[in-house]
Amino acid sequence: MKHKETAADFMERFIKDSSEPGQFNVYKKDLCGTTPLPHNRRDFYKISLITEGEGLLSYADKTFHIKDSVIAFSNPMIPYSWEPISKNNAGYFCLFTEGFINHHLKADSLSDFPLFKSGGNPVLFPDQRSMGFLAGIFEQMLAEMQSSYINKYELLRSYVQIIMHEALKIEPAGNNLKTGTSSARISNFFMELLERQFPIPSPQHTIHFKNANEFANQLAVHTNHLNRALKETTGKTTTEHIAERIIKEAKALLLHSSWDIAEIGYCLGFEHASNFNIFFKKQTGQTPNHFRRQLVAIS
C-alpha cells in the first residue's frame, strides 16, 4: 500500500529549499511550476491561493479546471493531484500538521469546513476583492514567520481562521459541480473514484479502495446510501461495479504484463494469491493461470 507523502517529502521534491518542515510553513512562489503533483494522500493540511496559472486539480471524487484566482483546501483524508497546463503557476500556499490545529482553529463554526472533513467543496473562486484580501493575509503570514514574536504561531492560527471565514463567504462555482439528481451525483463521484485507481503502473502500487465501505467513507455517505444510488442509476450494486473493474484490470495485466499472478493479485487488493484465484474463477469461470495460458496459446 502506498504511504502518505509527508511534509518533508513534499518540501524536498517541490520546494527545493533548506527549510525544515515544522508544524506550519508558508510560501510565496511557483506552485510546482510545470511539475505535476502525483495523486496521493499527504500527512499535512494545505491551503493554496492560486493567483496565476492553469491546470487540473483532482480530488478523490471530482476534478476542477483551475485558471487564476482560486483558493483550494486539502486534508490528509483525501488524495489529490495537480496537473499543470500553463507554464507560469504562481501564488501562495501554507502547510500545517495536526499538531498545529487547536480547538480555536477547529471551532464549532469551522468544524464542518472542507479543510477538516471529506465532504464539501474544497475549491472556491474568489472575486477580485476577496483575492486581494486573501493575498494580504498570506503576506502577513510570510512576514510573521520571519518575526521573533514569542506567540507568532497563535497569531498564525488566527490568520488561518480568517482565511477559512473569508472562504465561507465565497459562493461555490456551480459549473464545477455535478448536475442531476443526488443519486446521479453520488454515482458519478463513485465511478470517478473507482476509475482513478487504474491502470496500475507497477507491482509496487496497490489500489486504495477495495470494498463498498471504503468507497462510501471517501465519499462521505453511508454504504447503504451509495448502494441505493448505484442501483437506481446503473442497476448494479457497489460490489458488482468494483468486481467488474478489478476483473477488467486483472485481465489486462495477465495479458499485457509479465508480473506473476501473486503480484497481480496483491496490486488488486488480495494479500494471498489463493484469494485472488478464487475471486477470478468465480467471476470468469477459470483461474488466472488458465486465462493467461489460454491467451498465450491463441497468440
pLDDT of 244 reads: 94
**For residue range 164-205, what is the model confidence (pLDDT) as tens digits?**
999 988 865 444 444 446 777 788 888 888 888 888 888 888
* Cα distances (Å, whole numbers) of residue 259 to 277, 289, 295: 15, 12, 15
Residue 42 per-residue DSSP state: B
- pTM of the complete model: 0.56
Residues 6 or more apart in contact with residue 296 via CB below 8 angstroms: none
Name the maximum alpha-carbon separation found in the chain: 74
Phi, psi dihedral angles at 204 (to 5 degrees):
-85, -10
pLDDT on residue 239: 95
Q: Look up cell 514569542; give the residue.
A: 150
Top-confidence range, 126-130, 221-225, 278-282: 278-282
In the predicted structure, residue 257 carries a pLDDT above the cut 70: yes
Residue with cell 485558471: 67
Beta bridge partners of 90: 30, 52
1-58 pLDDT, tens digit each: 345 677 677 766 665 554 444 689 998 875 445 566 766 777 888 999 999 888 888 7
- In whole angstroms, give the CA distance from residue 229 to residue 190: 10
Q: In the prediction, which pLDDT does 3 show? A: 57
Identify which has the larger pLDDT, 132 or 84: 132
pLDDT, position 2: 46
pLDDT digits (tens, 9 = 90+) for 105-144: 777 778 778 787 766 678 899 999 999 999 999 999 999 9
Given CATH 1.10.10.10, say whether it is the number of domain 182-298.
Answer: no
Smallest CA-to-CA distance from 90 within 54, 56, 124, 121 is with: 54
Residue 177 pLDDT: 40
Fold of 7-175: Jelly Rolls (2.60.120)
Distance CA 160, CA 49 (A): 12
Question: Domain boundaries in the chain?
Answer: 7-175, 182-298
Using the predicted structure, report yes or no on whether residue 299 has a pLDDT greater than 70.
no
Peptide bond into 199 cis (omega under 30): yes
Q: In 24-62, which ranges are E strands? A: 24-30, 37-40, 45-52, 54-58
So what's the pLDDT on residue 280? 95
Residue in this structure with the C-alpha cell 479546471, named with its chain if needed: 65
Of 179-188, 203-212, 278-287, the least confident: 179-188
